[in-house]
């Protein structure tokens, strides 16, 4: 997990479920999550929130079979291009 420019806290192998506090997180800041689902997992979710106010709910599901849904492969942009 990282935020902004400069030294950032990194958390490895967090307990599941986890509730992590990101001090001074707000406009102009960023957070980077690298998530590796457990073997056999069919889904997981991440909520970015303050109190009960959820700003982002991310919920990929690997067990959904639909011609309209595709797996999420990558959400990283570098030099204006998704990689």
Count the domains in the chain: 1
Contact residues for 10 (Cβ-Cβ < 8 A; gap 6+):
1, 2
pLDDT digits (tens, 9 = 90+) for 15-60: 888 888 887 777 888 888 888 888 888 888 888 888 888 888 888 8
Query: Which tokens is 35 given?
Result: 């998530």
- Name the residue range of residue 52's domain: 1-83
* Threshold 0.75, pTM exceeds: no
For residue 61, CA distances in Å to 18, 33, 76 come to 19, 17, 19
Q: Contact, 6 vs 24, CB < 8 A?
A: no
């Amino acid at each position: 997990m990282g935020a902004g420019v400069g030294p950032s806290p990194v958390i490895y192998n967090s307990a599941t479920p986890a509730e992590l506090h990101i001090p001074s997180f707000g406009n102009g800041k960023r957070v980077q999550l690298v998530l590796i689902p457990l073997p056999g997992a069919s889904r997981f979710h991440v909520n970015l929130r303050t109190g009960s106010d959820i700003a982002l709910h991310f919920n990929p599901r690997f067990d959904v079979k639909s011609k309209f849904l595709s797996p999420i492969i990558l959400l990283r942009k570098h030099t204006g291009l998704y990689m």
